[in-house]
Amino acid sequence: MPEPVNPMSASPDAQTPLGLDGVTTDAANGAITQTEGGAVTLDPQTGLPMADDAAAITESTIVPDAISGLPVFDLVDRAGVVGWVLAALALVGMLIFFYKLVGFIRRGIFADGFAKDVERHLSNGDDKQVAQILSRRRHPAARIGLFGMTLSVANPENREAASDIIASHARKEIDGLNSGLRIMSAIAVLSPLLGLLGTVMGMIEAFQKMEGAGSRIDPSVLSGGIWLALLTTAIGLVVAIPATAFHMWMQGVIARAAAVMEDVCTMVINRGELARKGALRASNVAELRQAAE
């Protein structure tokens, strides 16, 4: 009667079970041999990858799969070093834009309708009401105007001195508003140039491949090289166009804020003249009413 055969010891291969994805595991020494892509060695005591393999696995998981699978990520990766530089410039530009936008909102740049109220109350000689209006506003013009209300403008010498002091404060406010715009301008100017540089480098590489192929030129090699070369120009334009638009918009916002500051400061410095003209106008209106009656 034949002896029963142990299925686990029937052959040496039976002791080496096949794991997922074509990976062969050796339980004795902890080695995992992959059918494709080399081998990964496990520590038989801990079951963790060895030092070299752990480093390789760490490097392969630097970029999450959710990000590496995006079409934009794939295009930037195909564009090479120039593509990643342009992506970094785009990120910096977006950060600057949102930082400036939040700064404009916090400073009350978009709430500049108080200048007409200031002019009306100064014409009526109501300096206290003007001070209350300016104290409730966060606009730089309101802060400078409130500071100017504390300066004496009784005579031409005092007005000139007050004008110089207020102009100094206004320049500081405008410089603060302009911070970061040079970086945005540099991004708008350099992005298409970097894209063009990447295109030129890609074209050089494509023609070098054609030269190396000799008479056996594959049109797909040339077309693929040109496609990748033009990709950097497209990325550069995609980065430069919004950066230029944001830069022009922020310059317009700052120019408007500077104009409001100039108007408010002029009214505050010449508030005595405005009050006299307002009183004269009121007296003329009263005389006309009396004459009409």
Other CB atoms within a 10 A radius of the CB of residue 193 amount to 11
- Please say whether the dihedral angle defined by the alpha carbons of residues 121, 123, 124 and 125, taken in this order, is positive or negative: positive
One-letter amino acid for residue 17 of the chain: P
Mean pLDDT to the nearest integer, 75-84: 81
Q: Tell me, what's the pLDDT at 283?
A: 60
Answer whether residue 249 shows pLDDT above 90. yes
Shortest CA distance to 236 belongs to which of 182, 183, 188? 188
- The DSSP-derived string for 34-70 is ESSS-EEEBPTTT-PBPHHHHHHHHHHTSS-HHHHTS
What are the φ/ψ torsions at residue 39 (nearest 5 degrees)? Answer: -130, 150
Q: Which span out of 47-61, 240-254, 260-274 was modeled with the highest average pLDDT?
A: 240-254
- Between CA 150 and CA 141 the distance in angstroms is 15
Q: Tell me, what's the pLDDT at 217?
A: 66
Answer whether residue 232 shows pLDDT above 80. yes
Answer whether residue 130 shows pLDDT above 90. no
